Amino acid sequence: MNLSRPFVRRPVASLLLAIAVLLLGLLSWRLMPVAPLPQVDFPAIVVNANLPGADPETMASTVAAPLERAMGSIAGVTALRSSSNTGSTTVMLQFELDRNINDAARDVQAAINAAQATLPSGMPSRPSYRKINPSQAPVLTLALSSRDLSPGKLYDVASTILAQKIAQVPGVGDVTVSGASLPAVRVQLNPNALAAYGIALDDVRRALTDANPLRPRGDLVGNDLQWQIQTSDQLRRAEEYRPLIIRYVDGRAVRLGDIATVTDSVENRYSSGFHNNEPAVSIEVSRQPGANIVETIDAINAQLPALHALVPASAELKVVLDRSPVIRATLHEAQITLLLAAGLVVLVVLGFLGSLRAALIPSVAIPVSLIGTFTIMYLYGFSLNNLSLMALIVAAGLVVDDAIVVMENIQRHIERGMTPFRAAMRGAGEVGFTLLAMNVALIVVFVSILFMGGLVERLFREFSITLAAAMVVSLAVSLTLTPSLCARLLPRHDSTERRNRLQETSERLFGWLLDGYSRSLRWSLRRAPWVLLILVGVVALNVTLYIAIPKGFLPEQDTGQLRAFVRGDDGASYQSMLPKMEIYRQLLLADPAVEDVVGSSGGDRGISNARIDVRLKPRAERVSADEVVARLRTSQPALPAGILFLNVNQDLRMPNLSDNSGSYELTLLSGDLDLLRQWETRVLEAMRNVPEITDVDGGPGEGTQQITLDIDREAARRLGVDMNTITQVLNNSFSQRQVATLYSTLNQYRIVMEVEPQYTQSPTVLNQLLILTADGTRIPLSAVATYRYSQVNDRVSHTDQFASADISFSAAEGVALEQAIEGVQRALAEVMLPTAVQARMGGTASSFVQSAETQPLLILGVLIAVYLVLGVLYESLLHPITILSTLPSAGIGALLALRLTNTPFTLIALLGLFLLIGVVMKNAILMIDFALVAQRREGLSPLRAIYKAARMRLRPILMTNLAGLLGALPLVLGSGDGAEMRQPLGIAIVGGLAVSQLLTLYTTPVVYLYLDRLRARREPAAPAPAALPQGEH
């Protein structure tokens, strides 16, 4: 069946269909969202719970453990992790990739409800949860600063007004405010004054609670009017609390101001933020799944004038980190690369054909196929991103192949005397099966990527389907539009049209090339065993190179943003870390590549830790982000009790609860917390001696100073003191306890109670605390307890309900991820962990290990799938082997190119290998299909048939190979935004095509003949192979 026949007969319809495809594609392109990478959603939910003042181990055992037990039975949970520090616990549940996040959220809420009865009664609020996508970095960060307003006021404006308004913008997902805490009335009690008046801490707490009842008051109803009853039962400012009467002593009222310092403060005084050299709070905005990043950021920027109007006049709102310029620049570079690739492909076609009219025919297939692919991408819900555009860049060198094959075959019939119309009718029909075999083999390779599973499949799904769609559109164009154009544009063989100089030069050069190839091919066919031996050597070298080449997960991107983390020594106070933070802040601001610095200290990250986000200047004004990090690492001072960790922010981040002080993560797990801590120290020491890694950080260690109260239970029982009374006294004194709530129109604020800061400088203050006995007598705490010094972790982590410790690290400069992990594994082997302690990679390192283990099986699976498809198409068990024999030469070219350019073998390079499998098979299919037809129709011997096929198909093979090579060359040479993601693909394709072009022109005929002889031996009457004429050209 000749599918091209009706389109050759109806050229206007063919042209209008192509125009319709173009218009639909352009419309789809305009409607598609924009993103740096395909959307990869890790369904995850974070649960937050607070118990102010509780130490990490108490939080872990009384809050984290009950929640984990309740949530551990939720269906579809792949990872359950918690992190408990002073006063707060965070639990993260990660679900299977196909788990519906809304259904999971309902299960999490049910688990929280079930665990509520086992949680401490003193929690100020129930645990809350929020849905997150931990793989996505914030798309926009704003800073709110003021020289006049307090941090609490700034935080209130940011969280109560700005965050709510921003959350209403279409496309916005999560909005996080950090750098301070909400305003609060802070009551700081004087223990000496309390003792002098005989007032207990609980007396003060009850008085503060009773001062803000906010109960229903009812109303009065008369015959004509109704009155609502209002009372002044809410005290809102510190000055209103100072006259509050706590109790009467000897007939005299003791007011709050007599025993405490009352100020308008914040809920947590161990939290602060900055933007460059000014105090500030930061607002981080993340997008909703599937939202267009650029449109979301533009929508927020459009709201900025309205947002500015909502902040006080003395405050300034600035955009600090904005991902849209880098995304726009990256996509612009990708689009320029796409146009350049298409232009180079057109030049290749023009150079071989020598005629603008002839070159126009396959060149038209490029825009129609690529733009038509946008429609399929839009229907699948894809975005314009680095990987989908990369697929189109590669496709630019592939979609022209089908048109070249069709036109070259039609041209061959015209040269034999047919009219262009008849040649188009016949020539297009003859190569229909060849085109089908070429494209089906390619599509099988691309679709095989979808069977990678997990993260890799989600990440490269758009790349795979986009390429497959481009091949389908290209096949349709080559069977419809291309023969129709050939019938109208190609001249007759007897045409008087004068050949131009380019045509003559092209024909002359190709004639020389064909003559040289014919001679060398005859030479190689006479020395077939040596050629076969070379092929075997190439296969062995492929295996050797694959094992030896350094491997990575994804190329390190230069996103123009750095993430820094400052780790204070264990036990360092918040106040002691502030000068060190200032030194590091000035170090970052002084670097010539840095544009903006925003960060926060303390808070949920621990009082001795800080996180800093750094925006770099545009790529043209600085060195690479990796070089900036290396420069800052070498220039940072060796500060005692504080270390600065730096890494480049990536578009795709693996879920974890660690502080990201390093790029990768090792997790130790054990059922015995004490044993885990012992071996964590040994593993840390061993890893710090590994030269392949840097920034080794064990996170919070067993160094936080702790005061342990040893209670004399007999004395306590004799004096009528219960344990709850002692705990309440400590909680009231030192945990920034929130004892009451103040309600306003927009938000709720707290009253925080503690002892004055000067009484928290030394443990001796414990001796001055008064506790109530059963008969109401007040006695000092020292009557029933003594204290001693100890050390404890300032954070306790659990993974899958086991105690865990996270050790982060980064690869040293010039070291691939595989080499870094091998160094870590070597360190683990040296320390010889006991069976009670397990070690496993986390985050990106874990994903790399999983993908590296499956890569050989995946490649083998692709080869088997291609063999099966080709075997079905050719009804042969041997011909697919001939086609697959072209692959080793492409593989060795790709691996050598990666090795010579010092490029790790990442998942992007693996995509290049898959592409090469499809491209080089097309060359073998062109040659073998022609040889089989020559044997069947012309009665040629296998030797003469393959020799003729090699010569006759040399032009389309060279054209398609050179088109693919030059189409990928812009990927290699690109140096703009996003180039580091595209370069490994281009290097693999260019290297593979260059080497395969040289080798497969000789190895394919030899393998074809050997396998044909194998087939002939199994048949009873096989004719002897005819000799190849010496002078045949």
With helix as H, strand as E and coil as C, how does 960-972 read?
Answer: HHHHHHHHHHHHH
Asked if residue 851 belongs to a domain, the reply is no
pLDDT exceeds cutoff 90 at 691: yes
Pick from 1013, 1001, 889: nearest CA to 950? 1001
Q: Is 479 in the same domain as 359?
A: yes
Q: Report residue 158 as tokens.
A: 């940011």
Please calculate the CA angle 92-94-100 and round it to the nearest 5 degrees: 120
Q: What is 597-660 written as a DSSP string?
A: EEEEEEGGG-TTEEEEEEEEPPGGGS--HHHHHHHHHHHS---TTEEEEEEE--SB-----S--
pLDDT band at 616, cuts 50/70/90?
very high
| pLDDT tens-digit map of 853-870 | 888 888 888 888 888 888
- pLDDT for 518-534, tens place per residue? 999 999 998 889 999 99
**Mean pLDDT value across the chain:** 86
Tell whether 665 is covered by a domain: no
pLDDT at 168 over 80: yes
Same structural domain for residues 256 and 147? no
Query: Does 414 score more than 90 pLDDT?
Result: no
* Alpha carbons 581 and 584: distance in angstroms, whole number: 5
The reply to whether 345 and 467 lie within a common domain is: yes
Confidence label for 1028 from pLDDT (cuts 50, 70 and 90): low
Label the pairing between strands 140-146 and 315-322.
antiparallel
Phi, psi at 969, each rounded to 5°: -60, -40
Q: How confident is the model at residue 822 (pLDDT cuts 50, 70, 90)?
A: very high
Q: Are residues 896 and 986 in the same domain?
A: yes
Per residue in 88-103, pLDDT (tens digit) is 899 999 888 888 888 9
Query: Crossing angle, helix 386-396 and helix 954-973, to 10 degrees?
Result: 150
From 774, 793, 812, the end of a domain falls on: 793
Q: Is position 284 within any domain?
A: yes
Please report which helix (H) or strand (E) contains residue 357, including its range. Answer: helix 356-379
Structural domain contains residue 632: yes
**Closest residue by Cα to residue 783 from 763, 801, 803, 769:** 769
Residue for token digits 């094992």? 547
Residue carrying structure tokens 């700081």: 188
Statement to judge: residues 350 and 243 lie in one domain: no
Q: Is residue 767 part of a domain?
A: yes
Say whether both 389 and 471 belong to one domain: yes
Sign of CA dihedral 9, 11, 15, 20: negative
pLDDT surpasses 60 at 314: yes
Between CA 116 and CA 461 the distance in angstroms is 42
Q: Which domain holds residue 161?
A: 138-173+272-322
Task: Look up the CATH number of the domain holding residue 717.
Answer: 3.30.2090.10
In angstroms, rounded to a whole number, what is the distance separating the alpha carbons of residues 888 and 365? 30
End-to-end CA distance of the chain: 33
Average pLDDT over residues 443-460: 80
Contact (CB, 8 A) for 839 and 828: yes
The Cα-based distances of 354 to 285, 347, 406, 502 in angstroms read 55, 10, 17, 5
Is 892 found in the same domain as 988? yes
Non-local CB neighbours of 213 within 8 Å, separated by 6+ positions: 233
Q: Average pLDDT, stretch 269-298?
A: 88
Domain boundary among 775, 793, 811: 793
Q: Report the alpha-carbon distance of residue 53 to residue 201 in Å, rounded.
A: 15
pLDDT at 704 over 70: no
Q: How many residues does the chain have?
A: 1033
Q: Are 541 and 565 within one domain?
A: no
Residue 315 near residue 144 (C-beta atoms within 8 A):
yes
pLDDT by residue (tens digit) across 757-815?
Answer: 888 888 888 877 888 888 878 888 888 888 888 776 677 889 988 988 888 898 888 88
Kindly tell me if the per-residue pLDDT of 660 is higher than 70. Answer: no
Per-residue pLDDT band at 894 (split at 50, 70, 90): very high
CATH of the domain at 361: 1.20.1640.10
| 165 located within any domain | yes
Indicate whether 915 pLDDT > 80.
Answer: yes
Indicate the Cα dihedral angle 739, 742, 748, 750, nearest 10°: -30
Cα Rg, the chain, nearest whole Å: 36
In a domain, 389, yes or no: yes
80 located within any domain: no
Q: For tokens 């001249």, name the residue.
A: 491
Whether residue 291 has pLDDT greater than 80: no
For residues 599 and 638, membership in a common domain is answered with: yes
742 and 634 both lie in a single domain? no
| Among 317-326, 455-464, 604-613, the least confident range | 604-613
Whether pLDDT at 258 is above 90: yes
CATH number, residue 599: 3.30.70.1430
Residues β-bridged to residue 781: none
Query: Is residue 897 located within the same domain as residue 912?
Result: yes
User: Per-residue pLDDT tens for 206-245?
Assistant: 999 888 777 777 888 888 888 888 776 678 899 999 999 9
Inform me whether the pLDDT recorded for 1022 exceeds 60: no
Structure tokens at 804: 């865990």
Question: Is residue 277 domain-shared with residue 400, that is, in the same domain?
Answer: no
Q: pLDDT class for 598, splitting at 50, 70, 90? A: very high
Token couple for 1013: 């002889």
The pLDDT tens digits of the residues spanning 534-591 come to 999 999 999 999 999 999 888 888 888 998 888 877 667 888 888 888 999 999 999 9
Structure confidence at residue 1033 (pLDDT): 43
Give the whole-angstrom CA distance, residue 402 versus residue 405. 5
Give me the number of domains the chain comprises: 5
Query: Average of pLDDT values for 271-293?
Result: 87
